[in-house]
A and B are shown apart, each in its own frame.
Chain A
Amino acid sequence: MIPAPRSLLVTLTIALALASHVFALEATPDERKLFIEGAKLWPVYCAQCHNARPGSQFSPAQWDAITMHMRTQSIIPTKNMRAIKEFLQQAR
């Protein structure tokens, strides 16, 4: 049976929530540490030059290109930009 549009929305929301939960459960300690560091760095480092964009604004593939570009522009240390990218790609 094909679900009604509202049911579909609820299904998608649950699926996304589960996906985030799965990441939290499956992420290695290093990935979790990187994610937390990125969450701290993102609002401060990005806002030094412009308003920080949320992770939901671009796809993970787009964040690959954007963070590479912004690292060149801002000379942020590689380790820190990797943390910001991890946060932006996962916080969707």
Chain B
Amino acid sequence: MPPTDLGVQLRGSMQWGELGQDVDYTAWIANGPGFDSTLPQPVVGQTLNPQNNIGINTNGRALGARFRIYPFPLDANLGRLELGASTYDGKWQDSFWFYSWGLHFAYLNHDLQARGEFVETYRQMPPGSGPDNRQGWYIQLGYFLRKVPTTGNVYFDDVIHRLEPAVRYSGVNQHAIVTNEITTTPSVGFNGSPSIFTPHAREVALGLNYWIEPSIVWQTEFDLELPRAGGTAFTFNQAQALLSHPAPTPNDRALLTQLSIGF
């Protein structure tokens, strides 16, 4: 779904069992999904428009919903498990459907945290073009070093106890990518996902979080793109869409760092 949108949202929650056993829901209606309208024609593999604010891309509306359940009672000491499902559906260009749905989990047990998600999308295409289906997923593990034995050096211990190493494996399956949409220039809504560079991206990320404050974290990760082949690349030469089949992607590496401030 787009990271920004304009619409109306309804949400609520309740405890359905013992302490810690909750459910919550979120449902909303917002601007319809859109795709890059600067390309001469719609093709398989286009990315969903990242911004969807007051610049309404279609006259239709999108419907979204998320449901979460927490099955473990707090007193069972099994940790906090969250299971959820979500969907985002609407028509693009007022006539073609775009469906998406996802399943996710998150688990926290003392200093261990794990989370993951599987998402699938279906984009109905104009006559003459096959459907645009995709799947993507990730799983991530992290561990807070709060209980690492102290060394006696107050400053060193303070740094170590604020660290959280993490590892993530992610991947995407899609029929094609559009080379005209590939950009490496950071901007608002910039999508640096490996899925815009290759149809079947697989990535291993090794991360290190440094918690400056409870809601301020400096995050650094080293990404390893695993070699993959398959899929199609579309390139527009003016109005003409050219097809090519990319060779196995190289084992690219990237070092990313960011400061996240929560409010």
Measuring CB to CB, which residues of chain A are less than 8 angstroms from any residue of chain B? 37, 40-41, 44-45, 47-53, 75-77, 79-80
CA distance A53 to B229 in the complex (A): 47
Interface residues of B in 2-45 (CB under 8 A from A): 11-15, 19-20, 22, 24, 26
> Which chain B residues lie closer than 8 Å to A37 at the CB level?
19
Docked pose: A71 CA to B20 CA in angstroms:
15
Question: What's the interface size class on B, roughly?
Answer: 20 to 34
Q: How far is the CB of A49 from chain B (nearest CB, A)?
A: 7
Pairwise interchain contact B74-A40, C-beta atoms closer than 8 A: yes
Residue of A nearest to B146 (CB): A51
Contact A75 B24 (CB under 8 A): yes
Q: Which residues of B contact A50 (CB under 8 A)?
A: 214-215, 262
Whether, in the assembled complex, B1 has its beta carbon less than 8 Å from a beta carbon of chain A, the answer is no
B55-79 contacts to A, CB under 8 A, are 74-75
Q: For residue A52, which residues in chain B have a CB less than 8 angstroms away from its CB?
A: 214
Q: Which residue of B lies closest to A46 (CB)?
A: B214
User: Which residues of B are found within 8 Å of A75, using beta-carbon distances?
Assistant: 11-13, 24, 26
Q: Which residues of B contact A48 (CB under 8 A)?
A: 80, 82, 106, 108
Q: Which of A45, A53, A77 lies in contact with B214, CB distance below 8 A?
A: A53
Residue pair A44, B15 in contact (C-beta under 8 Å): no
Q: In chain B, what residue has the closest Cβ to A44?
A: B80
Shortest C-beta distance, A15 to chain B (Å), equals 29
**Which of A41, A51, A53 meets B74, CB within 8 Å?**
A41
List of A residues within 8 angstroms of B143 by Cβ = none
Q: Which residue of B lies closest to A54 (CB)?
A: B214
Question: Contacts of B74 on A, CB cut-off 8 Å?
Answer: 40-41, 44
Whether A79 lies near B12 (C-beta < 8 A) is: no
